[in-house]
Structure formats: C-alpha cells, structure tokens
Structure 1
Amino acid sequence: MTQILDWRPDPGEVIEFEPTTDRAPVPHDVPASYFQRSHMQSAAAHRAAGRRQSPWVAMVFDLPGRADTDALAAAWQGLVRRHEAFHTWYEPEGDDLAGFRLPPGSVTVRPSHVGDFTSTGDLRAYLHRRLDEQTATTSWPGLLAGVVRRDTTSTVYFAIDHAYTDGHSLALLFDELRTRYDAALAGAPVDLAPAHGYLDCNRRERERSAALTADAPELAAWSEFLAVGDGGFPHFPVELGNDTGELLPGTRLHYPVLTGAQARAFRAYCGRHGGGFGAGAFAALALAQWEFTGNDVYRVLTAVSTRAYPRLLHTHGWLVNLVPLLFRLPSSPTLAGAIAAAQQGFQQARAGYDVPVHRALELLLTEGDVPAIPPMASYLDGRTAPGSADYLRADTRLLTGPDNASGVSMWFNWFPDRADLVVSMPDTPQAAAGVPKYLDRVREIMLTASGGPGAGRDPGQPPT
C-alpha cells in the first residue's frame, strides 16, 4: 500500500483505455450501501469546499516487454462487461443517490495514445491528476485504466472510485486482467464464469438493516464495545496531537515486520496458543498498549469481508465492513495468554459481519456520527489472493491518494515473502514522536514469538 506521492514510475509512452457506450443509462432502484453513501457524501463535501480529493484506490503492476495495447483493450472490455461495478453507478440527486445501469454488451473499450513522458516526476503528476479527475466524477465510468509502455517492461495502472471497490476486488482484477491479456495475445477464448453483481448485496444489506432495532441480538457486541468506552471510539495508546478528532493531513509509515519464514513461525506459535496470525497481531497490539498505558482492555474497529457465500468470491465491489473487536488481557499478561483472548474476541466480532457499522451506530449512539475515516486495525492474508505468488515479480502495488487522518489506522498484510504493517496517522509532531515507538514494540513482540531477535525471553514481557 503506497501513497502515490511516494511512487516512482519509470517514464515511458502512456496509453489509456477509454470505455464508451452507444446506449443511454437506465435507472435502477437498488439503494447504495451504507459505506457507499458515506464515501460519496464525504466526496461531495470535499467538492463543495473546493478541496482536492483522491477518492480512489489503485493498483499498478508490470508486464514483460512492450505491452500489446489491442490485447489490453480487449482484456479491459471483457472485464468491464463482466463486473456490474463497471456498468452500474450512483449519482447525487438532491439529498439522495440515484442508481443507473448500462447493458454490459453496449460497453466497448479502445486504446487512446496520451504521449511520451521522459520524467518520473512529470509522469507521476500527470497520473495523479488524471486519477483524481476521472474517479471523482459523479457519473459513469469512475474508472481510469492505462499502461506505461517501455521496451523491456510495461506498467499497467488502474484506479476506481473507492465506492465501487475494495482490496480483495483489486486483487481479483490483477489476476483476471493478466489472464485476459494472455488469452488475447494467444487468440484464445477466456473461460470465466459470470461474476455475481454487487447490487444484490446492497439490496440485502438494506433489507436486513431496516429490520434491526437497538436491542437486536446482532448489536450485542456493538453495545458492549461502546459501553466499555463510555459511548465512544478507542483512543490510540500514544498522544497524536489531535484532541478535537478533526480530519487532518496525514502521513504514512511502512513497517516490514516479518520475513516469510518468520511469519510462518509466528503463525505456528499462535496456533500452539489457541489462535491464528491475526489473533497474534491483535494480541501484540494489546500487549504494547498495556505496557504504554496500563489499560488491559483492547478495543478496535477491524475490517472483515462480507463475502459470506462462494458465489460472492469473484464479485467486484466494496464488500467489507468494520466490526467491534474487544477483549481483555489475562492477569500477568503475556503474548501466549493473550492470543486465545484475541481469537475469541475476533470470532465474536466476526459474527456481526453483516451489521453495517453506520447502521449499528445510528441505532446505538445518542449523539455523534461515524468518523469520515474511522480509526481501525485490519489483518489480511494476501497469500490466498489469485496470482499473489507473482506480486513480487510483477512489482505489484496498491496505490492510494495522499492521506487524511483523524486517528491511526493500521493494515497488517501477510504475503508469500513477508508480513508488513502500513500505518496512516495525522501528520503532527506528537504522532511522529509517539506512534513509531509503539509500533516498534509491537514488531518486537511479534519478532520474538517468531524466533527472531529477543527470542530467549517471553514475547509478552517488556524489555529490560
């Protein structure tokens, strides 16, 4: 996960792939999801205030040699027609969002020559501007795809309004686009099953949410989470210099945590103590919090997939929710003792995967709202994503725009060659001084459990 301002693309010839249609869009009556509505309202507020925004998430990866633009255009056309997220959308209509769709077969994609770039800085500035412009549109398509062609290696890039995609969906596109490209080069058909559309997910979410009441059993975990925190969200264990909780310019840290071998050893350690890798990571966060603050109750919002059925595994959309993770460390806390508690806490939180965070808080909070960017801690096992074994060779990266943050958000990612931690936080002197110290301790706890430095002592005990 790389901010675009930190990306250094080699110059080359830029080709973009433009989707067009000869048909007029047709309205649909499926409401936007809670996350989509929140995202689009936030984007509208930025537009109204005249602030530049980057409402997209993007992926870049390399192809060998000088890419064939006709084959890439064919790959994109097949992909856009297959996935509902690329031919259905929402537009502001008063205080609401109106839905529209196109017949998939009416969409065609053609390559368009942009020009040759000889400077990395100029190329990145152009792509940043185009990504912002194309994905901030309130109408179709909200997608930008292209390639930087060079003789030895070409870099494919694509960005989508975050309202219509999540990280898993981007990973699916990495694999599908390469599969379609290879097939087009070989003149072979592509045998892919139709992908289930995300609008059905939106419809089911709205129907389930409408039936919820504040005393519904599905909200028990939320009620406990908010009660422990006096009705609010958890505070980060170190000072951030943002007492008002406003959205500030952010900065990003990237922590290599474990090598591939160390990650497997850490997972084995967690398994011996009643949990998985994710439980071990949350236990390490909780232990470091206890050491810094004396607080033995760990609370955090964590991301979970809502792809509950096999038919949704290939769906493109924003199929992620935030759930309330809460657990208490045992007396005389150690990592070994904390893992089982973290695992149990996560399982309880995961049981409410289909209760939208916005709906839960709408029912339970007497005042206040969901922050535009809620602080969270996410764990993703990226080793299972299609094509993940090629990420390193293809220099695959998830790109985001410049950060804004009110608190700290963390993403633990486990890939075939490593486990790393990406952190977004307010760009304040206090956060810059305190957050790295906390994260260094989290990493030390995990390294020790994996057999790394400090393995001779219990990974839950503070250093002497």
Structure 2
Amino acid sequence: MKFIQMMDQPVDPGGLVEWSPHTLGGFANWNSDPRPTSHNHELHLRGALEYRWRTQREGGRESWLGLAIEFDEPMSVPAIRTALTRWIDRHEVLRSHVIIKNTGMARLSTPPGSVALKMGRVRWYAEAGPLLDQLAGTFDRATAPLQWPAYLFATVARERTFTLLFAGDHSLLDGYSLILAQHELVELYRAARERREPELPPVGSYVDFSAEERRVADAADREHPAVVAWDNYLLATDRQMPRFATSGSAPGEGADAPPQPQSSVTMELLDDDAANRFTAVCSAAGGNLFAGILSALALAYREVGGGEEFRCITPRHTRSEGRWLGALGWFVAVSPLYLDTTGVVSFDQLIGRATAELRQARVAAGIPFLRVAGLLGYEGEPKFVVSFIDTRHAPNAAEADAGGARVLRSHSYSTDEVFIWVNRTPSGVRISARFPASGPAHGEVSRFLVTFGDIVRGIGDQSTFAPHNT
C-alpha cells in the first residue's frame, strides 16, 4: 500500500463532490466531556494556535493524513452517505473536539447518530491536474486542527468507477489508522449497497485512550524509565535532537530561504522475493527486518559522510490493548535511536547492535514526549525521523497494495526536517520520504536514499534464501 504525498499521484478525472460533516445547531447541542486530551493532541493544538498568531493564517498547517480508495463500480450516493456516517458513528474521535481555553483544554463530544453529511457538488473535471490542485487545496483548508470538523470526505465519480478520498488532521489519526480504515470504508460501503449489516469487529474509542494515557503520563516523574532514557540520550547529544547532517549539509542550512514545499519521493525498494531474501539475512543474524533497515540506513549515512554515529527518532505505536487495535486515533509515541558503526566489519555484526538498540530504546516511548520534555525542561522537536511498519496482516492488505487504496500525506514546508517511512507490504518493501527542497541537504539526502537502496539490494542479493515450492 503506497504512502504518498497528495500531489505525487493523480486522481482520475470525473465529477467531484465534497462531503462535509455537520451537526444540527452546531456546538450548542454538544456535550461537555470531562475526559482530558492526549499530550500529542495538546502539543499539536498549541502549535496550531501559535501558528495562527504568528502568520494570521487559518488552515490545516499541512499536517494532515488521508486516504484514497478506488472502487471498480458506479457510485451509489445513498450507499456512500450511509458508509461515511456509519464510520463517523464508529469512531468517537470524529465526534469530539478539543478547545483551548485560559484554564486549559476543554472537550466537547456529540453522540452517534448526531453527525450528518452535506453533499456539495463542485464540478466535473476533464483533466487530472486541476482536480488534484482542487483536492489538495480543499484538504489543506478543511483540516485545521482548531476547528471542527478537522476532516473532510470527497468522491470523484465516473461512469463505471469512482474514488473515495478522506483527509483528517494528524491529531485525529495516525498512518496505521488509515491502513485499517480502507478496509472499514470498503466494507461499510458494500454493506450499504447490499442492505446488510457490516461485518466489522467493535473498536475502542481514542477519546478513552487519551484520558487513560494522560492519567498515566501525568503521574510520571523524573524517575520514570522513559524520562531517564530520554535524559541520558539528550545528555549524550548536548541536548540536541538528531538531525540529518553530513559533511555537505550542516544542520539548519536553508532555514532563511523562502518557504517551498519539501521534496518528496515514493518508490518500491524491494519486491516480495527480494524483501524475503533481505529479511532472511537479518533473521540469520538474530535480527528482524526493522533491525536490517536501521543497519542499512546507518551504513548509508556513514558512506555519504554522516560519520560513524547514526541517530534518529522513530515512532512506536501505543496500541497496547486489543480494544485499541482497530481504533481511529493518534496512537504514537517516539523513542530515540543510536547506532554506532565504528569497527563494524560485517552486516551481521551491525544487525546485532541494531537489535539490541531497538530493544533498549523501546522504554523511551513509555510516555508521550511532551510529558518527557516538560519534566526535563526541554523544547526541541524531532527533525530526523525514521518510521517502519509492516502492513501485510492488515485486512484487505493485498488488494490495497495492488492499487486499490493508498495512504496520503500533505506537503510540508520545513527547511530542516527529514522524514523517512519504510513499509513492508504484501508486494515488498516501499519507501517514502520528504526532505528539504533546496540547499546542500537536498542533494545529500537524495544521495543517502540512493545509497541506502543499493546497500539493501546488495545484501539481499547475497542471500541463499529461496521460497519453498509446494
């Protein structure tokens, strides 16, 4: 399943309709909700408020994630409306809103069945380019985290096919949520078309999770293992977050340049057979695929002049209970990674170091980083992030990976962030990245990604692994 920047893959032209959630009477009929918000959500909202004050701009701050699902059949308007309203009823986070007040955060919620959809016909598009521009601009405006709804649906219908699109602010969801959502939305639509009940398991509420996570995190102190782990890591880096910085790209270069969208790449790194061969090498050395990816990144970083020490931040999911597995929400904490390639003479040796580091670093994701930062008096933010996820066991994974659906991300204007996503899918290993659009870092990151791909493919080619034929 592709994880791709919105503007990097066209949507086939057709008739565009926007589906806007609303409630009768607005917030006047919503309920005051005592459940506190998550630290992630609070940090995101405060950042959005600061952005509004500083720029006098509204909008989503280009921090949304989304989904595009392809249907090989004519669109049924009643079925789409039913599917989308049922999905909103299914996930409470889409029926809840947090407001920043002088006294702190205040939550409002509305019950299932209270959210309706307004159908707004935009126009018929004969070309993909203008349609994509319209969709991207609309999603940017519709996903502002300080408003409700901070999400929007759209459909592009043709005579025999249609595309369902969704975009939501990051505070409402994470990438894994959308990997699961494509199956939910397809099943809800088919159930509505066939006039039957959808075959979906019950899910928990991210609002409930947020309250529980907040309670646990607020009870933590400086002695909490996650705080200690972060403190030790930051002490070793002069209290600096990891950055992508090689001999040709100093940290922060280009920060004074006029803002422009970051460069973006998405590609298949390995097909399924090559991915299995590379994984076999990792397994033989006592590690897993993520350890192998991390090791290859460290070697590539060294080769392009980044030095022997490879440091980055990695997301870790916080879906610790079964009820959270299928829930829509931002179930993510982060931990710092450090991999020293000094004296490494074999890939197997580095795999061992990476495996140990992944195990040790997990403790740092025990509580949200905002709480950690508050306890440590720290104000830095992640700048170099490497994410890994295996989507092969998600419902409908093979169909989605074959082109039936793709996860979308908005563009970013950062001049110093480097984000890399590596996904193991049914078809192989895909990589997606965003990085500065100009300056020395642009060329250095590009060279780094090419070198990384060469290393991974080269190691896999040395494997004797072969699939069993039956």
Length-normalised TM-score, structure 2: 0.89
SS state of the match for residue 397, structure 1?
strand
Larger mean Cα displacement after TM superposition, 291-300 or 122-131: 291-300
Q: How far apart, in 1, do the equivalents of 2:361 and 2:192 lie?
A: 44
Q: How far apart, in 2, do the equivalents of 1:237 and 1:343 lie?
A: 24
Q: Deviations over 1:63-93 (max 9, x none)?
A: 0122111111111111100111111111232
Question: In structure 1, what is the equivalent of residue 466 of structure 2?
Answer: none
Question: In structure 1, what is the equivalent of residue 71 of structure 2?
Answer: 63
Q: Does residue 457 of structure 2 align to residue 447 of structure 1?
A: yes
Question: In structure 2, what is the equivalent of residue 260 of structure 1?
Answer: 272
Give the 5 Å matches for 1:32-431. 32-48=37-53, 49-51=55-57, 53-94=61-102, 96-109=104-117, 111-136=119-144, 138-238=146-246, 239-240=248-249, 242-243=251-252, 246=255, 249=260, 250-293=262-305, 295-329=307-341, 331-365=343-377, 368-371=378-381, 374-405=383-414, 406-431=416-441
SS state of the match for residue 165, structure 2?
strand
Q: How far apart, in 1, do the equivalents of 2:267 and 2:142 lie?
A: 31
Cα distance change, pair 105–182 in 1 and its aligned pair in 2 (3 A) = same
Q: Does residue 18 of structure 2 align to residue 29 of structure 1?
A: no
Q: Deviations over 1:46-71 (max 9, x none)?
A: 33303463232111121012211111
The count of aligned residue pairs is 450
Match of 2:5 among 3, 6, 9: 3
Q: How far apart, in 1, do the equivalents of 2:312 and 2:20 lie?
A: 41
8 Å CA contact retained: 1:27, 1:100: yes
Q: Deviations over 1:144-170 (max 9, x none)?
A: 112100113211101111110001111
2:400 maps to a residue whose letter is Y
8 Å CA contact retained: 2:290, 2:388: yes
Larger mean Cα displacement after TM superposition, 216-225 or 183-192: 216-225
Cα distance change, pair 119–95 in 1 and its aligned pair in 2 (3 A) = farther
Q: How far apart, in 1, do the equivalents of 2:320 and 2:373 lie?
A: 22
8 Å CA contact retained: 1:298, 1:326: yes
Q: How far apart, in 1, do the equivalents of 2:275 and 2:103 lie?
A: 48
What is the CA distance between 1:246 and its match in structure 2? 4.9
Match of 2:14 among 8, 12, 25: 12
Q: How far apart, in 1, do the equivalents of 2:428 and 2:105 lie?
A: 41
8 Å CA contact retained: 2:229, 2:363: no
SS state of the match for residue 327, structure 1?
strand
Q: How far apart, in 1, do the equivalents of 2:343 and 2:275 lie?
A: 27
Q: What value does the CA root-mean-square deviation take over the aligned residues?
A: 2.2
Once the two structures are aligned, what percentage of the paired residues are identical? 27
What is the CA distance between 1:279 and its match in structure 2? 0.5
What is the CA distance between 1:237 and its match in structure 2? 4.2
Q: Deviations over 1:19-48 (max 9, x none)?
A: 333361111122222211222222223333
Cα distance change, pair 149–385 in 1 and its aligned pair in 2 (3 A) = same
What is the CA distance between 1:199 and its match in structure 2? 1.7
Q: How far apart, in 2, do the equivalents of 1:138 and 1:243 lie?
A: 29
8 Å CA contact retained: 2:63, 2:412: no
8 Å CA contact retained: 1:58, 1:400: yes
What is the CA distance between 1:396 and its match in structure 2? 1.9
Structure 2: runs of 5 or more not aligned: 464-470
Cα distance change, pair 255–185 in 1 and its aligned pair in 2 (3 A) = closer
1:413 maps to a residue whose letter is N
1:40 maps to a residue whose letter is L
What is the CA distance between 1:96 and its match in structure 2? 3.2
Q: How far apart, in 2, do the equivalents of 1:439 and 1:15 lie?
A: 38
Cα distance change, pair 245–399 in 1 and its aligned pair in 2 (3 A) = same
What is the CA distance between 1:399 and its match in structure 2? 1.8
8 Å CA contact retained: 2:240, 2:380: no
Q: Deviations over 1:118-163 (max 9, x none)?
A: 2322212221222122211633222211210011321110111111
1:400 maps to a residue whose letter is R
What is the CA distance between 1:286 and its match in structure 2? 1.4
What is the CA distance between 1:245 and its match in structure 2? 8.7
Q: How far apart, in 2, do the equivalents of 1:19 and 1:433 lie?
A: 43
What is the CA distance between 1:208 and its match in structure 2? 1.8
Cα distance change, pair 243–177 in 1 and its aligned pair in 2 (3 A) = closer
1:145 maps to a residue whose letter is F
Q: Deviations over 1:352-402 (max 9, x none)?
A: 43311122222234xx5132x632111111212221111144442222222
8 Å CA contact retained: 2:282, 2:291: yes
What is the CA distance between 1:294 and its match in structure 2? 7.2
SS state of the match for residue 216, structure 2?
helix
Q: How far apart, in 2, do the equivalents of 1:347 and 1:105 lie?
A: 44
1:59 maps to a residue whose letter is L
8 Å CA contact retained: 1:117, 1:123: yes
1:186 maps to a residue whose letter is E
SS state of the match for residue 384, structure 1?
coil
8 Å CA contact retained: 1:56, 1:160: yes
Length-normalised TM-score, structure 1: 0.90
Larger mean Cα displacement after TM superposition, 126-135 or 15-24: 15-24
